[in-house]
Amino acid sequence: MTDPATSAAPACPICGKPRAPQHRPFCSKRCADVDLNRWLKGVYAVPVIENDDEDGDKAADNSVAPSER
């Protein structure tokens, strides 16, 4: 059986060292600050491609007047 004291605890997501309870889920204030900086710079941003309108239809070409369509 595995010993709970030696079992693999989740590591710091920045550097991989063991986590510290006072900086959870990081190992230190430095790693927490590195993660915060990444959020603020937009490193963790989710790319979005918007091709459709809200209702799911293709975006209309607004360069043509409605009466000319």
Q: 19 near 10, Cβ under 8 Å?
A: yes
> Residue 46's pLDDT is what?
82
Greater confidence, 58 or 27? 27
Confidence of residue 45 (pLDDT cuts 50, 70, 90): confident
pTM of the entire predicted model: 0.56
66 pLDDT exceeds 70? no
Q: What is the pLDDT of residues 29-41, one digit of tens each?
A: 999 999 999 999 9
Q: How is residue 10 annotated by DSSP?
A: P
Could you give the residue ranges of the DSSP H alpha helices within the chain? 29-41
